């Protein structure tokens, strides 16, 4: 299965960047990018398919259990 991704650029204030780094670490995300992907998915949940929402819930369970890996690692394994 090929995962298609698109790179985006995001500008933050220094304070926002510090808060992002702290929040992502506190909540057990393996990277700031994973935290941002999760936040975007939460914001768009009402527009997503049932399958995608189920995947999000499974991801949340994995995050709480500390069983996540960065997307970059998954893509290298393909």
Q: For residues 1 and 77, give the distance between their C-alpha atoms in angstroms, rounded to a whole number.
A: 11
Instruction: Using pLDDT thresholds of 50, 70 and 90, give the confidence band for residue 1.
Output: very low
* pLDDT number for residue 10: 92
Give the pTM: 0.60
Residue 60 placed within a domain: yes
| 3-class SS shares of the chain: helix, strand, coil, % to 5 | 65, 0, 35
In percent, how much of the chain has pLDDT > 90? 27
Residue 2 placed within a domain: no
Residue 52 placed within a domain: yes
Residue 59 placed within a domain: yes
Instruction: Using pLDDT thresholds of 50, 70 and 90, give the confidence band for residue 46.
Output: confident
Q: Which domain holds residue 23?
A: 14-77
List, for residues 25-43, the tens digit of each pLDDT value. Answer: 998 888 898 899 889 888 9
Instruction: Using pLDDT thresholds of 50, 70 and 90, give the confidence band for residue 77.
Output: low
Residue 7 placed within a domain: no
The number of distinct structural domains making up the chain is 1
Residue 45 placed within a domain: yes
Residue 6 placed within a domain: no
């Amino acid at each position: 299965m090929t995962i298609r991704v698109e790179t985006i650029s995001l500008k933050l204030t220094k304070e926002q960047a510090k808060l992002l780094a702290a929040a992502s670490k506190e909540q057990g995300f393996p990277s700031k990018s994973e935290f941002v992907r999760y936040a975007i998915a939460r914001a768009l949940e009402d527009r997503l398919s049932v399958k995608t929402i189920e995947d999000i819930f499974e991801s949340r369970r994995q995050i709480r259990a500390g069983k996540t890996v960065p997307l970059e690692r998954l893509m290298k394994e393909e």
